[in-house]
Amino acid sequence: MQLRYRYRLNPTSGQQAALARAFGCARVVFNDAIAAREHVRRTGLSYPKDAELSKALTAVKKTPEREWLTEVSSVVLQQALADAFAAYRNFFASLSGKRKGTNLGAPRFRSRRDNWQSIRFTRNARFTVTTGGKLRLPKIGDVPVRWSRDLPAEPSSVTIVKDGAGRYFASFVVEMDAEPLPSIESEVGIDLGLTTFAVLSNGKTITSPKFFRRAERRLKKAQQSLSRKDKGSKNRAKARLRVAKAHVKMADARRDFMHKQSTALIRENQAVYVEDLCVKGLARTRLAKSVHDAAWGMFLRMVEDKAARYGRTVVKVDRWFPSSQTCSVCGRVDGPKPLSIRSWSCPCGTVHDRDLNAARNILAAGRAERRNACGETVSLSV
């Protein structure tokens, strides 16, 4: 499997200028590839093949108008061209229905004003990590790296990223085999929520940090200050940077929380059962801000990725399963209840906490679904 390891970079001012030059050249090559295909689309001609555009790039570097493309590594330019090819392949696959997920639009031009820029080096570029712990990049130099952990294997490529807050990162891609953890007996069902981030079937509760809600006032002031600045002024650029730093600080804290919680769940349980939530649909409701703040989609992706890496099992229960309406003791379906009702009594005499009862039902339904070899719908009595 392929894994990414990301590290913070501290380039010098000269290296920042070289990176900016590489970002710009990659953007121009990408836009040229999009423009070439848009031109033939408007004229009714057939799309140029990938090999033809690659040859055209080699030829255009010899012209006076594009001679400055030779100032950066050729691998960076070829990878930008490969990104354009992949964007069109995904677009056509989406149109034909071969690609799963939401429909993709046609590739768009990249702007020099984008706050997120990236370039990619493959093994052909001969990037290396020096004995002094620096990342040697062709035509850029030895860039200092903050090594928070060791690379587990030789990387096949590295992507250099500059985010909206002006930070630089190196994202290495490494090939690794699965690392199965010792088998254990415990399994858990998870009921995700907004007031409480998650309630587990074993009674454990994970409190919701509500990162955005806690930072909302500070973000509001920073954005108000940005709106008062004149467009194009240096003060506006400084204000934009303050807003971006506030956002990345919040996003980093959320990502760190998700990693820690997902890792703990995978290490402590052989199987994890969750609801197949329609996060995109919930994000269109009046709870949209809280749903985005909870970041359920990010959390579930991390759980699935780590389960695949460590030999654990993740089972998604049907989103229409009435986990909050069913008594986990007798199986009676008591009907829908508004979110304001946090506990309820079943005629069998059991008093349920809404979230804990739902987590236990998800656990039971997930176990039944896991034992269902033919893929048919099963009940909790299986």
Interior/surface letters 232-246, b for 16+ CB within 10 angstroms, e for the rest: eeeebeebbbbbbbb
Residue 256 is a catalytic residue: no
Name the active-site residue from 32, 187, 293, 355.
Answer: 355
Name the active-site residue from 32, 191, 293, 369.
Answer: 191
Contact (Cβ atoms closer than 8 angstroms) between residue 168 and residue 162? yes
For 180-210, what is each residue's pLDDT tens digit?
Answer: 999 999 999 999 999 899 999 999 999 999 9
Residue 230 is a catalytic residue: no
For 216-244, what is each residue's pLDDT tens digit?
Answer: 999 999 999 999 999 989 999 999 999 99
For 349-371, what is each residue's pLDDT tens digit?
Answer: 888 888 999 999 999 999 988 87
pLDDT of 376 reads: 53
Q: Which residues of the chain have pLDDT under 50?
A: 381-382
pTM: 0.87
pLDDT of 101 reads: 80
Could you give the CA distance from residue 20 to residue 27 in angstroms, rounded to a whole number? 11
Residue 191 is a catalytic residue: yes
Residue among 77, 102, 107, 76 nearest 89 (CA): 107
Mean pLDDT (the chain, rounded): 91
Could you give the CA distance from residue 161 to residue 213 in angstroms, rounded to a whole number? 28
**Residue type present at position 8:** R
Question: Parallel, antiparallel, or unpaired for β 2-9 and 343-345?
Answer: unpaired
**Residue type present at position 307:** A
Contact (Cβ atoms closer than 8 angstroms) between residue 290 and residue 309? no
pLDDT of 100 reads: 85
Element (H, E) at 354: helix 354-371
pLDDT of 334 reads: 83
Residue 168 Cα to chain centre, angstroms: 18
Cβ neighbourhood burial of 177 (10 Å; 0-12, 13-18, 19+): exposed
pLDDT of 372 reads: 67
Name the active-site residue from 275, 293, 304, 305.
Answer: 275
Other beta carbons less than 10 A from residue 376's beta carbon = 7
